[in-house]
Amino acid sequence: MSRKRGIAAWAYAAPFLIAMVAARPSMASTPTPTWDGARLLGVQCLLAPDDLADRRRLQGLLCERVRALAADKAPIPVTILQPGDPRLIEDDTAVLLIHASVQPQSGGKPLLVLAARSFRATAAPSELFGATPRAVPMAPDVRGPQIDAALNAALAEILPWRVRPHGPRPLPPPRRP
């Protein structure tokens, strides 16, 4: 490549490189296809490990707490869906999946590690990852301000109607068949 062509190539590419370096990350303002036309939000939870004492009761309490927090100002109904519920794969159902694990800590309270993501059986896969995983001290009956704060932060990353740094995102109107 001649010297003139090299200089011309850099002169052409320089504004793009500067824009890429100077750009700040921004939040997406368009809801993912998961929420397009959703008329129901189902909540499903899984608490591990399987040998945890009173696991099913704690899992139910966690799921009910997530449902209550997600339902706050929700424009669509929010309900707990059990495994095998046919609504899990209905066209107008979005599902909030909560995976929690109790991890023992040496010399301290066990940690509750939470991961959350959305799912919709009829939407094209658009999200590879969910909310940022969070770990908080385990509380009796899976309740407390630290657990609520972790759940609220996760829900703000997933649910379009939750308040985010740039405000809530409206749901798109349901499509007519």
- Tell me the domain boundaries of the chain: 33-158
What does the pLDDT look like over 30-57, one tens digit per residue? 557 788 889 999 999 999 998 888 899 9
* pTM reported for the whole predicted model: 0.74
What does the pLDDT look like over 54-86, one tens digit per residue? 899 999 999 999 999 999 999 999 999 999 999
Looking only at the bridges linking them, the beta strands covering 93-105 and 40-48 are parallel
Instruction: Kindly report whether the peptide bond that precedes residue 33 is cis, defined as omega within 30 degrees of 0.
Output: no
| CA angle centred on 71, ends 123 and 162, rounded to 5° | 70
Among candidate residues 3, 78, 10, the one with its CA nearest the CA of residue 40: 78
Q: What is the phi-psi region of residue 114: left when phi exceeds 0, alpha when psi lies from -120 to 50, beta otherwise?
A: beta
pLDDT bracket for residue 122 (50, 70, 90):
confident
CB atoms within 10 A of CB 52: 14
Roughly how many angstroms between the first and final C-alpha of the chain, as a whole number?
58
Mean pLDDT confidence for 98-116: 90
What value does the mean pLDDT of the chain take? 83
Q: Percentage of the chain surpassing pLDDT 70?
A: 76
